[in-house]
Structure 1
Amino acid sequence: MQAAVGDRIIIESATLGRSARFGEVLAVLGEQEGPPYRIRWDDGTESLYCPGPDARVRTISSAVESV
């Protein structure tokens, strides 16, 4: 997975009835746009995050194209 500052991270829940988690990439700390990432989650908390198989990235460019 690769992400850039400003991209959105979406973590889909594998648990029935549990909603997805959303966050914004504040910093890319790995090489070649790789993890770990510093994320600001929609609840206002920040953390370092290494994506698992349940995560996907919505890039800034794809968000602009869909407007």
Structure 2
Amino acid sequence: MHAAIGDHIVVESATIDSRPRRGQVVEVIGVDEAEHYRVRWQDGHESLYFPGGDAHVVTDDRPE
């Protein structure tokens, strides 16, 4: 997975009754296989995010 600053990361929920988690990439850290991100989540908090198989990237020019 590769994201750029301004892209959105959507993390799908493992449970049926939970909505996907969405955040905006504010910093890209590392390169290639070690790439991870500082993400500002919908609720306003920021965290480092190491992507897993349950996530995908949405760019500003591509619909979700």
TM-score band (shorter)? 0.7 to 0.9
What residue in structure 1 maps to residue 11 of structure 2?
11
More helix by share: 1
Count, aligned residues: 62
- How far, CA to CA, are the matches of 1:37 and 1:51 in structure 2? 8
TM-score, normalised with respect to structure 1? 0.84
- Give a deviation string over 1:38-58, Cα, whole Å, max 9, x none: 000000000000111100000
Residue aligning to 2:56: 56
Which aligned runs of 4 or more in structure 1 are off by greater than 3 angstroms?
A: none
Hey, which of these two has a bigger chunk of strand by percent?
2
Once the two structures are aligned, what percentage of the paired residues are identical?
A: 50
Q: Secondary structure at the match of 1:53?
A: coil
Segments of 5+ residues of structure 1 without an aligned counterpart are none
SS for the counterpart of 1:60 is: coil
1:24-48, CA deviations, whole angstroms, 9 ceiling, x for partnerless residues?
000000115x621000000000000
Structure 1: how far apart are the matches of 2:61 and 2:3? 11
* Paired letter, 1:16: I
Q: Which runs of 5+ in 2 are unaligned?
A: none
Give yes or no for the alignment of 1:27 onto 2:27.
Answer: yes
TM-score by length of 2: 0.87
| Aligned alpha-carbon RMSD (Å) | 1.4
